[in-house]
Amino acid sequence: EIVLTQSPGTLSLSPGERATLSCRASQNFGSSSLAWYQQKPGQTPRLLIYGASSRATGIPDRFSGSGSGTDFTLTISRLEPEDFAVYYCQQYVTSPLTFGGGTKVEI
């Protein structure tokens, strides 16, 4: 099983600041099967990034993904008030598909 470890657990920032979220995998699985999701309280998860760096439909360009192998990063260039949420990484290259534990981005 590929274990995904996200850090930090909580990120306290202000609107307009840059957010950098990390996702580390327990084994190398390339870069084509890593996704990031955003979940706001009481809402369904929303796909942000797939293939480590491709934005899903309708996702603003302030969200960007990078990385390969075992280390991946989600960057939010300038936080907007609606970006305060929990973010999860996920690998979908092999079963069991696994999620990271999440990073909460809070004001």
Partner 1 sequence: QVQLVESGGGVVQPGRSLRLSCAASGFTFSSYAMHWVRQAPGKGLEWVSLISSDGGNKYSADSVKGRFTISRDSSKNTLYLQMNSLRADDTAVYYCARERVPVVSPLGYWGQGTLVTVSS
Chain residues binding partner 1 by CB under 8 A are 1, 33, 35, 37, 39, 44-47, 50, 56, 86, 88, 90, 92-93, 95-102
Cβ at position 101, least distance to partner 1 in Å: 5
**Smaller CB separation from partner 1, 50 or 63:** 50
CA distance 51 to 67: 10
Cβ at position 81, least distance to partner 1 in Å: 23
CA distance 79 to 69: 27
Cβ at position 72, least distance to partner 1 in Å: 13
Tell me how many degrees the CA angle 46-50-54 measures, rounded to the nearest 5.
110
Q: How many CA atoms lie within 13 A of 84 on its CB side?
A: 11
**Smaller CB separation from partner 1, 14 or 57:** 57
- Coil, helix or strand for 3? coil
